[in-house]
């Protein structure tokens, strides 16, 4: 890209997972959906060249526990990125709204405080069908997208470090 005839410095990421250590935190609650998200994320990482020894899957009871495990992974020094996978389905009470807001904020905070790429693959859906559609049935697989984002951000961070 150029402005005024001068080239701008651009820092970009890549999608190769070779040599990148990834922690994946997945909720057991709504397991029919979260297992599809995990399968999508792991499938992408394998295709992108990840070594199975560089992948760690941590299972937690529900979406509320995802940020806690993500923080431990980030603090461990054993991961270059953390992928958070879960599903929240709206019910008849306000519980969904509080949980979605809290989990989203806490996952973002883990990334900001740890300095590691922490990607968000927590579905917030109105119905179980909608969640399944976003887990690979109809509208792509958000687990794949979360894994891609994590890998790309690892490369962006590495490139930023070498440029700054």
Q: Which residues are catalytic?
A: 95
Residues in CB range of 32: below 8 A, 6 or more apart: 128, 132
Tokens of residue 21, six digits: 């250590």
Distance (Å, rounded) from C-alpha 57 to C-alpha 51? Answer: 13
Q: Is 122 exposed, middle or buried (0-12, 13-18, 19+ CB in 10 A)?
A: buried
DSSP3 helix / strand / coil % (the chain, rounded to 5): 50, 20, 30
Distance (Å, rounded) from C-alpha 122 to C-alpha 118? Answer: 12
């Amino acid at each position: 890209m150029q402005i005024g005839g001068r080239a701008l410095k651009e820092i970009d990421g890549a999608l190769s997972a070779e040599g990148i250590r990834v922690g994946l935190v997945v909720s057991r609650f709504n397991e029919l959906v979260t297992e599809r998200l995990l399968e999508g994320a792991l499938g992408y990482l394998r295709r992108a060249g990840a070594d199975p020894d560089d992948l760690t899957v941590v299972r937690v009871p529900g979406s509320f526990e995802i940020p806690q495990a993500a923080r431990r992974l980030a603090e461990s020094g054993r991961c270059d990125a953390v992928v958070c996978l879960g599903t929240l389905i709206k019910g008849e009470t306000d519980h969904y709204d509080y949980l979605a807001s809290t989990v989203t904020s806490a996952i973002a905070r883990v990334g900001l405080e740890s300095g590691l790429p922490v990607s968000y693959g927590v579905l917030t859906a109105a119905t179980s069908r909608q969640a399944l559609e976003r887990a690979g049935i109809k509208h792509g697989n958000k687990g794949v997208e979360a894994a891609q984002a994590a890998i790309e951000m690892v490369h962006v961070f590495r490139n930023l470090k070498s440029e700054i």
